[in-house]
Structure 1
């Protein structure tokens, strides 16, 4: 009988880092597709080395993290140019709860399990989008993934003191933009009330649920039309959604978790047409993000 090949512990150890890398890259890039590309590129660089070069690396996990972060830093520079040409507003790619995940990947693929915590809620990711690439990388590595400023400095190519300053600036942006935490049950109730008012086309009920300074942002892409400009203010946003009410009568509107927070998913003939994320402060909705770009709805589409 032929002997069974020995399991490659090194390969297992390298591949076990994949989930952590996808989690990091998604937070750095705000796009699952870009995150997967960055991680693929990271592994390509690892396997381009000889076995001797690989064996000489003391901590393969740290090496992979450093390379993935640098790849993301480069991608952020080019993404900025791409997003400036984007039709409509750029919104980060929304993620479903793991139970709702329906990509064509094999079940149990670690990339399917991005940890949904406050560092991936839509409001947080939108603030990250406003940062410089260096700010974003320094902040995510230090504040979210707990890397030291010495380690961050090696990745970003600046001094530890400069990285501390970058992260501090990013933290200030986050602190200024985030409202006080609202319990998930309260958020869910507000989103449910919004769904009912929207389906009924009830402008008064919508206005009552919206903050007077609410901002609604939509994106498109591909063959999908975009909301070219954000809509601001309780009454204009209420009217915008009330005007859409007749069009959603052919759709199924579902309450779903979007990036770890209560949201809505509009389906047409079983396919996801729109994913809507909300920011709720107290009993009012302060932000609405509607994603219609088919490329960003891959994880939602059966």
Structure 2
């Protein structure tokens, strides 16, 4: 009997049965946005990542990452036993499975479903201006119901994250956060500060992107050749132009009328003088 118990103990220790660690975790990201397949547990010896086709992508063992799939060579990193994918290049959705081995020999599988959503825009592009004399730049987002905002620059580098608190990841920026407004300010902005994107997550689970375009001080030749006019703002100018044209036409017509009247008077005077000269000439002839 005791031999049976020993064999059962050896079998239980040496053979690991694959159980699910937890329910499937759904992850929603924008195209190009990084995402993390997290595993925050103690006693882990090894974590292997497998994609939906069953291909092993990478493995973390003893704190070292080994990438087994060349597609992920330059866009996969590790933090602890969690995998971080730098760019969401997958389309629509994809499933991953983390095969976890513990120090005690037990084993389980954790499943992830990653959904890549479209670039839904929060609103039209917001214009931000670099103000003199300190060349400061201010970026703000003031919409209700926001859960989290991640602000990135034009090379997709994260500058700040808000989730209950404002965490600034770049020392060149300062900011503030209240119940409805997120504001980030950069003193001494340069010509490199031209585009920013805020990735916004709302409390109801919806997401959107807010793009910012920065206007840098200096001569902008486009404004001289391609004016950015609002048709409504042109109405007063059109009215003033029309009035000036009418005044000019009326004045010109008046000058023409006066000129015609004057010319008519001169012609009448000449005719009269010619008539008088003719009478005088005929009287002289008679004498």
TM-score between the two structures when normalised by the length of structure 2: 0.23
Greater RCO structure (CA 8 Å; 6+ sep): 1
- Specify which structure has the higher proportion of strand: 2
TM-score between the two structures when normalised by the length of structure 1: 0.22
Larger radius of gyration: 2
- Specify which structure has the higher proportion of helix: 1
